[in-house]
Structure 1
Amino acid sequence: MLNVFPRPRPLSSLLLHDPSAIDHFLRHCSSPRQAGQIHAVLLHLHPASAFLAAGLVSLYSRLRLLPLALSAFLSFPHRARTPLLCNSVLRAHLRSPSALLSLHSRLPFPLADAFTFPLLLKASSLLSDPLLSSSLHARAVLAGLHSHLHVANELISVYSNHNKIHVARQVFDRMPVRNIISYNALLSGFAADRDYRSADDLFRRRMGPAGMAPNPVTWTSLLSVHARCQRHREVVDLFDEMRAGGTESTAEAAAVALSVCAYVDGVGLGKGMKIHGYVVRVGFGGYLFVRNSLICMYGKLGNREDAEGLFEDGGARDLVSWNALISSYAAGGHCEEAYAVFSQMERSGEVEPNVVTWSAVIGGFATAGLAESSLCIFRRMQQADVQPNAVTLATVLSSCGELSALESGKEIHTYTMRSLMDRNILVRNGLLNMYTKSGSLRKALLVFNRMSEKDLISWNTMITGFGMHGFCSEALDTFDNMVQAGFKPDGITFVAALSACSHAGNVEVGRRLLDQMVHEYKLTPAMEHYSCMVDLLGRAGLLKEATALVEGMQMRPNACVWGALLNACRLHGNVVLAEDCATSILGLEGEITGNYMLLSNIYAASGKWQESAKMRVMAKARGLKKQLSQSWIELRKKVFAFSAGSSLPHQTEEVYEVLGYLSRHLDSKNIEQELDFVGYFHTSKPSKRC
């Protein structure tokens, strides 16, 4: 439009007495040269117009010409430097918050008003400086502007970003007037804090009575908080509720809804395809982040053709696109496919794999039980000079634990200390898991005792570690310490504690724990809890009580529960009860080879050779194969697995030497010396419960 004004003079003549025309051109100008022409006109004809000067500063900011924006501000006389113009130049520097704050402190600005404080607060938030934010809040209080709508809304956002949601809520509650932005800011804070209950309360009970109708931003925040809390079904239901109420979705809301579809049992694919159709109709399909969400959804649901089709459709793709396809395959258990895409990514040269890419592949192999491959890929990652994050380290530490690769685990532990990542609770929990599974309970206890902050996973890991090493008293003491520290036990906690009781044969404590789980903590026992309790009762010879427990279950017992009872029958030679169990076990979904072998051995022990052979034939006919138990030994950072009676590969003489050494020195006295450390680390008198 400004092309009709090629020279400054005609432009000046036309706009001489028409400020509204100047304002129009300021809003629509897209040329630095024409912006300079308007600047010259303003200085000559309207030097005192703060409104037009602010428009010029905004124009330079829009054109990414910050030096000219500041120059324009300084070129106008002091009488034009009203709060409007000053706020305009501050807003122009929001992309550089440090420069904004420096500018405000150096230049002679008038007193901050209700539009200045939000800009300063936003800058402090972008700098992640909570002390500065609090200082600005105090200044707003002194100026009497802390309750102003714009200032209070920004305070809510800032405190939410600083993880001070309780302060944000106080600001919200004290506001004399609120608008939809106030509610959206607090909802966004609840989403960041993963507090879906407070978000629901605000949305359901406070917005309606206040006459606030939710807008698309409101729904997006509400969807986000439920997604972050893994309330996947609720996210899908809320998305449907939003659409049914006539609110148009944002692209971000659609991406959130798509991200949870893979975790909604039974209807996830149908819901995802429905949302896919919607995003295509409204034009969101062109957004790269929406397409990446679609790739993730289809990949995790096993729809490889759809995922690959979206990935290969010829549109733009970035690192997130590659990571979406790799992560979806890895999360779905398709680790080989994930690695194939990873290799394709390396060959293509489009983008370099980052830590998220490597972590996804490493995690995929670890989840699939291929711990050795997981460690090998981690070594490749180190060679590629990509620094691991907390998720990567926790995953490879878990792989070390599965392999009992203690030396490799120690090496990673050393790396975490050098990089200061051992302070991350995810990494520390990984260290606990690795040391307990690798047989180094002493090291695990050292890590645990040095943790300044523990979460439920930390306590559960330590209870499990004590239990698997036979320290029932220490496991139960840790359980009590956890409760005293204010943690509420979950199902995993009780599995660990009941398992410890089972190893130690402490029936009374096991009974009390199961009762405590149901009546005090209102937890419903799962198969794992029943299996532990049946094993505990069965080993103690209380077969009648164990049988009654199985028959009284509110769910159909699975093969593991029946297997625990069957093992008790083997221990105590109860063939009659074993045969009763057999009628329930045979043909059971999820049947396992071990139960057939137990039945076969029970029959053989009682001289029923024909029935014993029949069990083995039935197992073979059902395609069930006995999995050989394996032992692991780590030598020179390489893990060797072997079974009883098997031979190791050639060139493993050192392994045989180590095994021989262990065999010669593994006597009860040495074992006692190795295991007496528990009392050393306990300051209180050991419990006598086990």
Structure 2
Amino acid sequence: MYADCGSIDAATQVFFLIDRPNLFSWNILLTAYAQNGHLDRAAEIFARMPERNLVSSNAIISAYAQAGQIHKVLSLFTTMLQKDIISWNVLLKAYGEQGNATLAKEVFDKMPEWDLVSWNAMIAAYALCGHIGKARSLLGRIPIRSVLSWSCIVQAFVQHSGDLGDAREVFFEMPEWDAASSTAIVTLLSQQCGLEQAQEVFNGMQHRNVTAWNAMLLVYIRCGHLEGAESVFHSMPRKNIVSWNSMIHFHVQNGNFESAKRMFLSVPEHDVFSCTDMITGYARVGLLKDAVKIFSEMPESNVVSWTAIAAAHAQLGYTVEAMDLFDRMAERDVVAWTMLLTTHAQAGKITEAKTLFDQMPERNSSSWNAMVAALAQSGDLEAAKSLLDRMPHHSVISWNSMIAAYGRLGYLEEAKKLFDRMPEHNLVSWNSLLAGHAQNSRKAEDLFASMPERNLVSWDSMLAAYACEGNARATARMFERMPETGLISWNLVITITARAGHGQATLDFFRLMNLGGVLADEITFTGVLTACNHLGLLAECWEFVLSMSADYHLAPAMEHYCSVVDILGRSGQLKNAEEIIRQEEEEQGSSSGAAAWRALLAASKMQKDGARAIRSARSVIRLDGGKSLPFIVSVGL
């Protein structure tokens, strides 16, 4: 009784109170130690036994099998004078659990008989080694199949194949679903974002453990379904650290930092995964001190957390500190090296980035891509092309970086040649080539028409091609054809119509943008204020400037006030215009006022206010170091 309850000490005390323990008593004690993982004591009891039988031998080989000591299992098995199906099954399962399907099959073929445990053990051995075809074939030969037999096949598909179709076929052939197979199929569906099918399986489960709940949670997370993920999370009868970490990671990756923070503060315990996610989250919202605090309070850290805190410093401009953290890392993997390389590249330190690249003990495709992109973006196309040719495996990302760089610098023929050399193209490849043709709408039109697929970036690139040529009508027509629009789309059509003098059309587009729920930014308002300027709408112009901060939480820049200054100046309100400039110079700094003073200078000359024109000219010269002298001469000063 004590042995069955796991109370080995009590069982031992009872055993030694027996005057002359018989073989049955010895076997009970041996089995107690064997089943509870006390291998050394089990071996000691086995050696002290005055006599042994088949039960004794099966108990000790099971203990060695449980400990993974296959050589001891085989040694004892070969010396056993008597063996039964339990003995054979122990050896069979031992080989299978070691991942040796070949030896497991040899044992299986030698067995004098098989029971359901034997069949399931052989199927499990094949499944563990990824031999799914052999496992399915064996499943068809079983005289009587159990749920475990089917479950092994389903789990094999999940772990080794990833083939959802075959896994579902086997799963739905099962006479009944167990927790293991249901959880396995839900896990596979999460990788394929099969939300409806996963929900069907999950709802059909009679018993759901925390692993099953976590698998369903992961389905919603991988499908980007925030509401569904939160519903599953809050419905869980029991949560573990995996549940909490999954939700924290989901919120951080989707920019829901406040939600991630609330959840992090509610977690019963923090581990390296949740802390690392929060370091990334704090960095993304610019709270470096909080990220450092999380890192310093971590119970343990690893190379991922060290990389995260170093990346946090790098992203916020603290390159020296990022380098210092990198130097202090106990271990560095290729991700850490690539992070530091990218940090230097983004800071324009191409020489330092190249030095790091040369020092890397190992490189992956991300490392090569980062270095190719850095060289290309710096304009060193020859070095970038040379590195691209040296890459052991060209990825579409590296090709796209080069095409984008050639296009940006105007080398369109080279971009097209590189595009034609690519073994395969993705949408980014096409968009990179299209963006390079933004200065030539005719060629851009031909390329756009030949694209096998398009997304919003493709349409925006074509829109930009018309806008760059100043073709407001073509831009508006293209805009109306777009299947979807985004902020860039609206800004392009608003800006080009404003510059072309179609002020009313600009304001109409702005109203439609608001009705569509697209939030305007600083570029939008530059176009809107330009339109107001052309139409002479002084009151509306000023209302839009005030609305920027009151309704959109945007800080008006000097370029926005320039429109107000220009329209005030042309309406003869030069004094008010000058007061606005001086007020903004005090708030934003004198270096930002040259454009506004030029606008006031032109207006003062037009209104024949010589004194104000001279003051404006002096301010312009003071602010831009004489760069505007040709303009000042052109207005007659």
TM-score class, shorter: 0.7 to 0.9
CA distance in 1 between partners of 2:609 and 2:81 (Å): 110
Deviation at 1:31, TM superposition (A): 4.2
Which of 255, 267, 286 is matched with 1:233 structurally? 286
Summarize the Cα distance change of 1:225–1:53 in structure 2 as closer, same or farther, 3 Å threshold: farther
Q: Which has the higher contact order (CA 8 A, sep 6+)?
A: 1
Answer yes or no: is 1:597 the counterpart of 2:634.
no
Cα contact 1:232–1:264 (8 A) shared by 2? no
Cα contact 2:73–2:91 (8 A) shared by 1? no
CA distance in 1 between partners of 2:150 and 2:87 (Å): 24
Which of 328, 344, 348 is matched with 2:390 structurally? 348
Summarize the Cα distance change of 1:90–1:222 in structure 2 as closer, same or farther, 3 Å threshold: farther
CA distance in 1 between partners of 2:83 and 2:471 (Å): 83
Matches within 5 A, 1:118-129: 118-129=183-194
Which residue matches 1:89?
Answer: 153
1:86 maps to amino acid: W
Matches within 5 A, 1:250-269: 250-259=302-311, 261-265=313-317, 267=318, 269=319
Deviation at 1:197, TM superposition (A): 3.2
Matches within 5 A, 1:152-231: 152-204=213-265, 206-207=266-267, 212-223=268-279, 231=284
2:468 maps to amino acid: K
Which of 203, 212, 224 is matched with 1:141 structurally? 203
Which of 167, 171, 179 is matched with 1:100 structurally? 167
Summarize the Cα distance change of 1:561–1:46 in structure 2 as closer, same or farther, 3 Å threshold: farther
Summarize the Cα distance change of 1:386–1:496 in structure 2 as closer, same or farther, 3 Å threshold: farther
Summarize the Cα distance change of 1:151–1:600 in structure 2 as closer, same or farther, 3 Å threshold: same
Which of 114, 129, 132 is matched with 1:66 structurally? 132
CA distance in 2 between partners of 1:174 and 1:182 (Å): 12
Answer yes or no: is 1:246 the counterpart of 2:287.
no
2:264 maps to amino acid: F
Matches within 5 A, 1:564-579: 564-579=599-614
Cα contact 1:47–1:77 (8 A) shared by 2? no
Which residue matches 1:384?
Answer: 421
Cα contact 2:186–2:202 (8 A) shared by 1? no
CA distance in 1 between partners of 2:176 and 2:398 (Å): 50
Summarize the Cα distance change of 1:115–1:413 in structure 2 as closer, same or farther, 3 Å threshold: same
1:189 maps to amino acid: F
* Deviation digits for residues 221-251 of structure 1 (CA, Å, limit 9, x no counterpart): 4455667xxx2634x5565233211243454
Deviation at 1:142, TM superposition (A): 4.4
CA distance in 2 between partners of 1:562 and 1:182 (Å): 59
Which of 444, 453, 456 is matched with 1:420 structurally? 453
Deviation at 1:157, TM superposition (A): 0.8
Which residue matches 1:540?
Answer: 571
Flag the structure with larger Rg. Answer: 2
Deviation at 1:594, TM superposition (A): 4.6
Deviation at 1:550, TM superposition (A): 1.0
Deviation at 1:160, TM superposition (A): 1.8
Which residue matches 2:17?
Answer: none
Summarize the Cα distance change of 1:272–1:232 in structure 2 as closer, same or farther, 3 Å threshold: farther
CA distance in 2 between partners of 1:24 and 1:501 (Å): 81
Which residue matches 1:634?
Answer: none
Which residue matches 1:666?
Answer: none
Q: Is the deviation greater in 303-312 or in 518-527?
A: 303-312
State the secondary structure of the residue aligned to 2:628: helix
CA distance in 1 between partners of 2:573 and 2:434 (Å): 40
Cα contact 2:456–2:484 (8 A) shared by 1? yes
Cα contact 2:187–2:215 (8 A) shared by 1? yes
Which residue matches 2:362?
Answer: 316
1:598 maps to amino acid: F
* Deviation digits for residues 411-449 of structure 1 (CA, Å, limit 9, x no counterpart): 222123xx121xx11211222222122233333223322
Which of 346, 355, 380 is matched with 1:300 structurally? 346
Summarize the Cα distance change of 1:19–1:225 in structure 2 as closer, same or farther, 3 Å threshold: farther
Which residue matches 2:582?
Answer: 551
TM-score for the superposition, normalised by structure 1: 0.72
Cα contact 1:300–1:329 (8 A) shared by 2? no
Cα contact 1:15–1:21 (8 A) shared by 2? no
Cα contact 2:278–2:294 (8 A) shared by 1? no
Cα contact 1:57–1:92 (8 A) shared by 2? no
* Deviation digits for residues 69-101 of structure 1 (CA, Å, limit 9, x no counterpart): 44555565536x244x53333211113333222
CA distance in 2 between partners of 1:277 and 1:21 (Å): 51
Answer yes or no: is 1:151 the counterpart of 2:216.
no
**Is there any run of 5+ residues in structure 1 with no aligned partner, and where?**
607-690
Which residue matches 1:325?
Answer: 371
2:379 maps to amino acid: C
2:286 maps to amino acid: R
Deviation at 1:463, TM superposition (A): 1.0
CA distance in 2 between partners of 1:562 and 1:150 (Å): 67
Give the RMSD, CA atoms, in angstroms. Answer: 3.5
2:243 maps to amino acid: S
Summarize the Cα distance change of 1:255–1:15 in structure 2 as closer, same or farther, 3 Å threshold: farther
**Is there any run of 5+ residues in structure 2 with no aligned partner, and where?**
1-68
Summarize the Cα distance change of 1:394–1:469 in structure 2 as closer, same or farther, 3 Å threshold: farther
Deviation at 1:460, TM superposition (A): 1.7
State the secondary structure of the residue aligned to 1:452: coil
State the secondary structure of the residue aligned to 1:335: coil
Cα contact 1:397–1:434 (8 A) shared by 2? no
Cα contact 2:407–2:437 (8 A) shared by 1? no
Deviation at 1:356, TM superposition (A): 1.7
Cα contact 1:456–1:489 (8 A) shared by 2? yes
Percent identity, aligned pairs only, is 20
Cα contact 1:390–1:426 (8 A) shared by 2? no
2:611 maps to amino acid: V
Which residue matches 1:446?
Answer: 477
Answer yes or no: is 1:455 the counterpart of 2:486.
yes
Which of 321, 324, 328 is matched with 1:274 structurally? 324
Deviation at 1:474, TM superposition (A): 0.6
CA distance in 2 between partners of 1:539 and 1:366 (Å): 41
Deviation at 1:301, TM superposition (A): 2.5
CA distance in 1 between partners of 2:581 and 2:365 (Å): 52
